[in-house]
Structure formats: structure tokens, C-alpha cells
Structure 1
């Protein structure tokens, strides 16, 4: 079943929160301001590490999450359906004559 090599999992001790992950630094400061800490926060460093060229900047991640193509399609369909609704409500689509 499956077979092959397992991916190499890096040692958890290599991850630290620093200048390379400002989002996590912000989260850490916010938690500290209310007297809390998250000992597991460094497990998220790999997601936010700006030193890794494979990790896109936060604004790109947001656009990927939204999906620009479906967003454009949705806006286009909304415009078309609203246009049809207004056309039909104006009496042009009901076979009624306006006097």
C-alpha cells in the first residue's frame, strides 16, 4: 500500500519566531499583552517564514484563498442576473404593453 519514501520532517527545535515571520511576532505580542502565551506557535513558523521563497507573501495567500477566477465569474453572473431581473420587472419580459 503506497510504498516509497516518507518526506523528511525537520526537527521542531529548528523553528523560532523572529523577524522572518512578522505575523507570528504580532500574534505573540498580542497574546503577551493579555498575559498569555502559545507554546505551539512555533509549529506555524514554516507557514510564515519569509526566508523560504516557496512561501508567498500574505496578500498573495489571501488572493489564492479567495480565488480570483471564481470571484470574477460570480460578479459577472450577479450582474447578468440583476440585469435580467430589472428587465423583467420593467414589464418588457411579460408580454404587457405599456400605455
Structure 2
């Protein structure tokens, strides 16, 4: 159960994240200040803008959407190859497969 980080994983100290280093958060802080408000938890959002550690929003979105796509596609190809090799799915293109023969159904309708 190793994970993706070198052991031991070092958690960064929260003091490295500053509102002043993030222009978007400075804008929020100033807008709140104009209304006489203050958000003491605003610093907790600063990590989201740390491009070095977490990448951009678009990069995180791409990772979220496409993580595992290559492995999934390979599994799909292996499944198709296995079905082809075992003959699964051959000759099942017609109507009524798995329902008996068509004459048997006609006989039941007439009785």
C-alpha cells in the first residue's frame, strides 16, 4: 500500500500559504474589506493556487477527467481480443437469439 509519494510524505507548514501571494484572493480580501467584512479562513484557499505543487486548474481537471483512460482502453482491447479468441459473440447477430426457434413461437400464437 505504497501510494504515490516518497516515504515519509512531508506535509507543508500552513504558514507558507499566504493570501498576499495570490492575486485572486487579494481581490476577494479587498472586496470583503470594502464591505467591512473579513474572512479569517481565506488563507485556507491559497494552496489551490500553488501551481508548483498542484498545477493549474485546467491541469487538475484534465487529470481528473482522463486518469485511467489508457488503462481502461487497454482493458477494452484485451476483452475484445479474448472474446474473439474464444468465439464469444459470433453468430448472435440475428433476431430471436436466445428465445428458441421461430417456428416454436408461431405454434404458441396459434394455440
TM over 0.5: no
Normalized per residue, the structure richer in helix is 2
Greater relative CO (CA pairs within 8 A, separation 6+): 1
- TM-score, normalised to structure 2's length? 0.40
Larger Rg: 2
- TM-score, normalised to structure 1's length? 0.44
